[in-house]
Amino acid sequence: MKDNNLKDFLNSKVVEYNQPSFIKDDPICIAHLFSKKQDIEIAAFFASIFAWGGRTTIINKSKELMQLMDMAPHQFIVSHSEIDLKKLLAFKHRTFNTTDLLYFMEFLKFHYSNHKSLETAFTKWMGNGDETIEQALIGFHNYFFSLEHVPGRTKKHIATPVKKSTCKRLNMFLRWMVRNDNTGVDFGIWQRIKPSQLICPIDLHVARIAKRFNLLHRKQIDWESAMELTAYLRTLDATDPVKYDFALFGLGAIEKYY
């Protein structure tokens, strides 16, 4: 497919999937249960962290956790007591268990006790000249695990480019928080990261579609492949390259367009 035809095709798929009807079957629906900024951030964060495996299970487990926090996650996090935490002890999603959840709660309470938004947990590591969010992801990982007595097992749940991870789930979370095109899917409630700095979330489905259309040539699916794919997407739209995540994910995970 020629470049112009490919761009038109991908743009049409962005339009097809980037609309409110997409929300109900995607983990982003968890964040759409809320209107308070901090609740949206927390719901989106957990939904993205849980985002591996079937989407129905991801949504159900994310909703279960929100219900355990009385559908008021920010209030629960900043004001919970040891007794309140007992209701969380039975929660588990795949390899994410009670140990992991309790540390996540400890970090979020620490952060929100000092900051109004989770945005600063990412942006305070960025420089004025940063073209991408790479330093934000590295800084967030280091900050997240900066508290005392970090469980070793929990480190696998927060990715970092330093370890060559694609950081798919965090990139998806940041897309949700940063992009704002008034279609009703992504929230755009963060202002200090530009859509142009985002990195496209990449998993097996997205990688297969990207390789089919020669958008990605790197064999290994890692941080460099995420950067390579995003660099190509910037040639299609320099200001909002990650909008094509809708097209690539839709073609791969939903349409199986291999």
- Cβ(189)–Cβ(237) under 8 Å? no
Q: Say which residues have a Cβ less than 8 Å from residue 127's Cβ, sequence separation at least 6.
A: 135
pLDDT in tens, 13-46: 999 999 999 999 999 999 999 999 999 999 999 9
> Tell me, what's the pLDDT at 1?
62
Look at the pTM and tell me if it is higher than 0.85: yes
Range of the structural domain that residue 78 is part of: 3-119+126-254
Helix (H) or strand (E) holding 258: none
pLDDT in tens, 120-159: 999 999 999 999 999 999 999 999 999 999 999 999 999 9
248: closest CA among 223, 57, 232?
232
> Tell me, what's the pLDDT at 257?
82
Name the token pair of 213: 């259309």
> Tell me, what's the pLDDT at 256?
84
SS3 content of the chain, % helix, strand, coil (to 5): 60, 0, 40
Residue ranges of alpha helices (H) inside the chain are 3-17, 37-49, 55-68, 73-79, 82-85, 98-112, 120-123, 134-144, 168-178, 204-212, 223-236, 244-249
The total number of structural domains that make up the chain: 1
211 pLDDT band, cuts 50/70/90, is: very high
pLDDT in tens, 170-202: 999 999 999 999 999 999 999 999 999 999 999
